[in-house]
Amino acid sequence: MPRSTPYTVLLAALVLSALGSACGNDTVTNPDPGQTPVSVTESYTDTITVNGARTTPFTVNRAGTVSARLSALAPDDTVTIGLSLGTWNGSSCQIILANDSAVLNATITGTAQQTGQFCVRLYDVGKLTAATDYTIDITHF
């Protein structure tokens, strides 16, 4: 049986390393550390009915601050509704932060620890007496 020398072991390690690095193109690209992330604001308009709710999914492409601001309510801009922020699993919104007393211009803010699917949910907290139109502004990276 041939005996291994330190040189043959080193040579074998180098050959395996070269072969492994030649397979595929698994280059990881990191963002430029000097590049300032640019936030994105998306606006959505819809209607909440009495005892109803609406969920709006959105995609976060970079970890960072996520906020949702209730920028319009009509016909009664003094009504109180629920506003929440969560993660979207493809069929429902898993609530993480909630404000059950949101009024016009209320903002809910959280931090996305990673990229992925998130959601904003607006809902009647028992205060609506008629269908209410709303606009929500979602800001994220």
**pLDDT higher than 90, residue 134:** yes
The CATH T-level fold of domain 40-140 is Jelly Rolls (2.60.120)
What would the pLDDT profile of 12-58 be if each residue is shown by its tens digit?
333 333 333 344 444 434 456 677 889 999 999 999 999 999 999 99
CA distances, 116 to each of 5, 58, 62, 106 (Å):
51, 9, 8, 24
pLDDT at residue number 14 = 36
Domain limits, the chain: 40-140
- Residues 77-107 pLDDT 10s: 999 999 999 999 999 999 999 999 999 999 9
pLDDT of 64 higher than 80:
yes
Locus of tokens 């990191």: 30
| pLDDT given at position 31 | 55
Write out the DSSP string of 23-92: SS-----PPPTTPPP--EEEEEEEEE-TT-EEEEEEEE-SSEEEEEEEEEEES-TT--EEEEEEEE-SS-
What pLDDT, on a 0 to 100 scale, did the predictor assign at position 4?
46
Mean pLDDT in the chain?
84
